[in-house]
Structure 1
Amino acid sequence: MSAEPFKKSAVTVLVGSANPVKIESVRASFALYYKNVRVLPVSVESGVGIQPVGAETFIGAENRADALFRKNRSKKLGADFFAGIEGGIINLHGRWLSFGGVCIRDSAGRKGFGSSAMFELPGSVVKELLAGTELGDVMDKIQNGHNTKQKHGAVGFFTKGRIDRKKFYESGIIAALIPFLNRELFDGRA
């Protein structure tokens, strides 16, 4: 497979967050396929609660990508892709897991969805999340830190630094790019 499946060598991506970890994970993921990547952070609302549960996570990511798409059109920003990333939790097999949901949309309106890896959360953390506290705030309290979600995140803490939040999101972003990397299969031409 070609290392550069897209036709353009340069790309502009709007990301629906001012979080430096999300911005850098988008940049690193797109840099695998493009020589020149420009990432512009644009704050947009997710339309879901501060700690999405289950499908709300993907709904929030899609809402962010859609809002970026509309903003790009109305302000004529000239972006090629729009990245919505949302951290959430889901209950599977009686266990609560944390994950990142991703929606990538292109300027033609096509969408791709992906997910990061998932990791189990301890019951004490889940209790606070289900009571309405955001995971980042819970983790700040556990670590006596501030804004750890813009650094290593919960995944960095729980893996003892083996996986940081940037790497965590990169897998979901790359997965969301699959329909764009394989258009002939996803557009029904294969």
Structure 2
Amino acid sequence: MAFPKRRNLQEQKRQKLVIVGSKNPVKIKSSENAFSNIFDDSFIVQGLNVDSKVSAQPMGDVETYTGAYNRAFASKNAFPEADFWVGIEGGVDHVGEQMVAFAWMVILNNENTIGKAKTASFFLPEAINKMVSEGMELGEADDKLFRQRNSKENGGAVGILTNGVISRADYYQQALSLALIPFLKKEFY
């Protein structure tokens, strides 16, 4: 009598679906990296264009967090069969006369758990401050000042200003990993 071949444990696990509320490849890649580094599960990570329902360039923590939450929530409504929904929103704020950049991460699951985290912040050059204060989006201002093209889907301001030492994907990945804590340590959340 022949026995069926044993399946590898990885093959037996169902891949989990993560929907990122953006088609930006940096946001998708950083989400994929964070989920695969934190969990042993296998993930399929897909981007989805959704509206953040905030300004094109959010100002301050409240508007930026709201944009991230709205992206995660809209993704959940659009694709309810997924396992996780991710919202990432980059924002700026004034600290005195200077401007800082940062991003908020919001992760939802189908058990009504919410994970939230914010990236580190960094000060922007005065020329960027001026352009953004006059209504330009940060990515557009980066492209103009640094003679880049579509920098927000590549290294972003953080990548440009650190000469690539900190990529935008790495910058987001750390905060995404922190936002995953409530899913990793369910017993405490």
Fold match (TM-score > 0.5): yes
Q: 1:161 is paired with a residue of what secondary structure?
A: coil
Q: Structure 1 residue 97 and structure 2 residue 104: aligned?
A: no
Distance 1:127 1:62 in 2: 28
Please report the TM-score for the alignment, with normalisation by the length of structure 1.
Answer: 0.87
Distance 1:10 1:100 in 2: 28
| RMSD over aligned Cα atoms | 1.5
1:5 counterpart residue number:
none
Residue among 24, 30, 54 paired with 1:25 = 30
1:39–1:123 Cα change, 3 Å: same
1:156 counterpart residue number:
159
Q: Structure 1 residue 40 and structure 2 residue 46: aligned?
A: yes
Gaps (5+ residues) in structure 1? 1-7
Residue among 105, 111, 116 paired with 1:113 = 116
Deviates more, 1:160-169 or 1:84-93: 84-93
Q: 2:43 is paired with a residue of what secondary structure?
A: strand
The Cα of 1:37 is off from its aligned counterpart by 1.2
2:55 counterpart residue number:
49
Deviates more, 1:152-161 or 1:30-39: 30-39
Q: Structure 1 residue 15 and structure 2 residue 20: aligned?
A: yes
1:4 counterpart residue number:
none
String of CA shifts for 1:100-138, please: whole Å, max 9, x gaps. Answer: 111000012221111112111122211211221111100
Aligned residues: 175
Residue among 134, 149, 168 paired with 1:146 = 149
1:179 counterpart residue number:
182
2:9 counterpart residue number:
none
Distance 1:94 1:114 in 2: 26
The Cα of 1:35 is off from its aligned counterpart by 3.6
Q: Structure 1 residue 136 and structure 2 residue 139: aligned?
A: yes
Say if 1:12 and 1:37, in contact at 8 Å, map to a contact too. yes
Please report the TM-score for the alignment, with normalisation by the length of structure 2.
Answer: 0.87
Say if 1:10 and 1:35, in contact at 8 Å, map to a contact too. yes
Amino acid at match of 2:84: F
1:59 counterpart residue number:
66
Distance 2:53 2:89 in 1: 11
Amino acid at match of 1:36: S
Listed as ranges, the matches of 1:119-130 within 5 Å are 119-130=122-133
The Cα of 1:93 is off from its aligned counterpart by 6.0
The Cα of 1:9 is off from its aligned counterpart by 6.4
Deviates more, 1:89-98 or 1:50-59: 89-98
Deviates more, 1:167-176 or 1:88-97: 88-97
String of CA shifts for 1:10-61, please: whole Å, max 9, x gaps. Answer: 3210001111111100000000113411011110000000110111110000
